[in-house]
Chains A and B, each alone.
Chain A
Amino acid sequence: MSSAVSVHVSVNGEAREAEVDPRLLLVHWLRDELGLTGTHVGCDTTNCGACTVHLNGESVKSCTVLAVQADGAEVTTIEGMSGPDGLHPLQAAFREKHGLQCGFCTPGMIMAAADLLNRNPDPTEEEVRHGLEGNLCRCTGYHNIVQAVLTAAESEVRA
């Protein structure tokens, strides 16, 4: 085995340290070693976006990031989205607008949508669709997901 590398990562605001095999993928570290199973593995080929998390505030596909590449970074997963007041506005909007059916893609969708709204707080429907191109949903046909993101944007813009 190649020699282990130490990583220091802030995960959902909590400092975590580990000695990892260089080939360990970030998604496997989060799920298998930290128990954060809200981040899903879908395609495992950088296509579907189910594994999307935030690395220093930007959405990334954690199946295509090595855990060692996250050293010194801040990682946010779906578990870190809800605050003391309950659901994140995107989570609430997905529930209100029926933006999920089986729910497998939902954590990645919400993390991608959060990046989208950080970049563009008041997007058009077309901008939402372009911004979510990296996330596949096999149930909904996307319509209610787009509605949910627009609803969350409205509530944030009003707030």
Chain B
Amino acid sequence: MIPAEFDYVRADSVDGALGALAEGGEDAKLLAGGHSLLPLMKLRLAVPTVLVDIGGLDELRGVERENGGWRVGALTTHATLQDTDELGVVARAASLIADQQVRNRGTIGGSLAHGDPASDLPGVLLAFDGSVTARSGGGEREIAAADLFQDYLTTSLGADEVITTVNMPALEGYGWGYEKFTRRAEDWAMVGVVALVKASGGGCEDVRIGLTHMGPTPLRATAAEDALRGGPLDAERIAAAAEHAADGTEPPGDANATPDYKRHLARVLTRRALESAAAGAA
């Protein structure tokens, strides 16, 4: 399979990329690692007329600790994330994306901009209450994860914007758990759950739960969070809270799972993720 014809621009700076993007018009697309875009182009589901390749912009790579949080360059690959143990659940989630070859090419910015609710990192960013920094010709703005993911494969990024940085609080002292259920090894998540728990004095001071592939965007399991926050952090309370993991969700059915089965998975995986997170927080 061969993509449709397109013109190719190799950007040598972010400003250069923004200029080429503006010049290319509405059918111009950014190319980073290409592991979401190129498969779509080969299937002719995406037919951009211009590709602006930002893959050579090394200033957009790297993981830095700054002001109590993490600043991750948009072109940082999943492989780099998986090798950065200090990132905790982010490293764990990245290590389970597709397979090593894909992780060597795919980037955090590309994955977030693609906005696939079955991908691992959008749900993780949402659980962290993280954000992305996006630049356009008009300047820079920060978009909170809760505002970034709008619908299936749809984000609030403008056609003239490029993500430069992904921002996450460090969440010191939080335990974490990540559970992903797939039918085959390199599949997207049938359902995925990220849990972050902060304990104090045997109780749950804070909890965040992100759900992958339980709707057209990543979701927070707010009912389960509310059931656990402020109470004791024991197996019984975790199991009871996890029963609320799918409350209010309308997951899409597909060839692998019915909506009911996905809700069941969300409850089971939330319990397991919370158990890991609670053990790590203790």
By a CB distance below 8 angstroms, the chain A residues around B38 are: 64-66
* Max chain A C-beta neighbours (<10 A), residue from B1, B56, B98, B105: B105
Contact B35 A64 (CB under 8 A): yes
How far, in Å, is B55 (CB) from chain A's closest CB?
6
Residues 6-36 of chain B: 1 if any A CB is under 8 Å from the residue's CB, otherwise 0?
A: 1110100000000000000000000100110
Q: Besides the contacts A46-B102, A61-B101, A112-B101, what 6 more A-B pairs have beta carbons closer than 8 Å?
A: A22-B7, A22-B8, A44-B42, A45-B39, A68-B8, A135-B99
Known contacts A64-B34, A64-B38: does B101 contact A23 (CB below 8 Å)?
A: no
Contact B7 A134 (CB under 8 A): no
- Measured between alpha carbons, how far is A135 from B35 in the docked complex, in Å? 16
Contact B99 A133 (CB under 8 A): yes
Closest to A56 in B: B104
Question: Which B residues fall within an 8 A CB radius of A?
Answer: 1-8, 10, 31, 34-35, 38-39, 42, 51, 53, 55-56, 79, 83, 98-102, 104-105, 185-186
How far, in Å, is B32 (CB) from chain A's closest CB?
10
Contact A133 B100 (CB under 8 A): yes
Among the listed B35, B42, B104, which residue makes an inter-chain contact with A58, where contact means beta carbons less than 8 Å apart?
Answer: B104
Q: Is A52 an interface residue (CB 8 A)?
A: yes
How far, in Å, is A135 (CB) from chain B's closest CB?
8
**Which of A136-158 touch B at CB < 8 Å?**
none
Residues 1-22 of chain A: 1 if any B CB is under 8 Å from the residue's CB, otherwise 0?
A: 1110100000000000000011
By a CB distance below 8 angstroms, the chain A residues around B3 are: 23
Known contacts A64-B38, A66-B38: does B101 contact A3 (CB below 8 Å)?
A: no
By a CB distance below 8 angstroms, the chain A residues around B5 are: 1-2, 21-23
Q: Is A81 an interface residue (CB 8 A)?
A: no
Q: Is A74 an interface residue (CB 8 A)?
A: no
**Which of A14-37 touch B at CB < 8 Å?**
21-23, 25, 28
- Measured between alpha carbons, how far is A127 from B99 in the docked complex, in Å? 12
How far, in Å, is A107 (CB) from chain B's closest CB?
13
How far, in Å, is B176 (CB) from chain A's closest CB?
20
Known contacts A58-B79, A64-B38, A134-B186: does B100 contact A2 (CB below 8 Å)?
A: no
- Measured between alpha carbons, how far is A150 from B166 in the docked complex, in Å? 38
Q: Is A71 an interface residue (CB 8 A)?
A: yes
By a CB distance below 8 angstroms, the chain B residues around A52 are: 101
**Which of A36-75 touch B at CB < 8 Å?**
44-47, 49, 52, 55, 58-61, 64-66, 68-69, 71-72
